[in-house]
Amino acid sequence: MGQDLKNMKLKVFGVECRGCVEDYEKVISETEGVLNVSFDFDECTITVQYDASILDRKQVYVTVRKMVRKAEILTEY
């Protein structure tokens, strides 16, 4: 079965240091099914590219939500 690539962009709250961003990206990217993670500290957004045949949207949200105080899904494509 091939990959079913999806992207989710989230607004995140509670990220107060740039040094934490690398840790968040590393932990999230180690999740099975996550292919790419991009954190924009200035915009307080994170974009996660994932394989929907392995992870569903709720699992992606929960993975990000565990790392930050609050997260809101902005777009999915």
The per-residue pLDDT for 76 is 96
Q: Where are the domains of the chain?
A: 5-76
Q: What pTM, to 2 d.p., does this model score?
A: 0.91
What tokens were used for 69? 């105080």
Statement: 5-76 belongs to CATH 1.10.1040.10: no
What tokens were used for 47? 């974009």
Judge contact between 36 and 24, C-beta under 8 A.
no
pLDDT digits (tens, 9 = 90+) for 32-72: 999 999 999 999 999 999 999 999 999 999 999 998 999 99
pLDDT digits (tens, 9 = 90+) for 17-33: 888 888 899 999 999 99
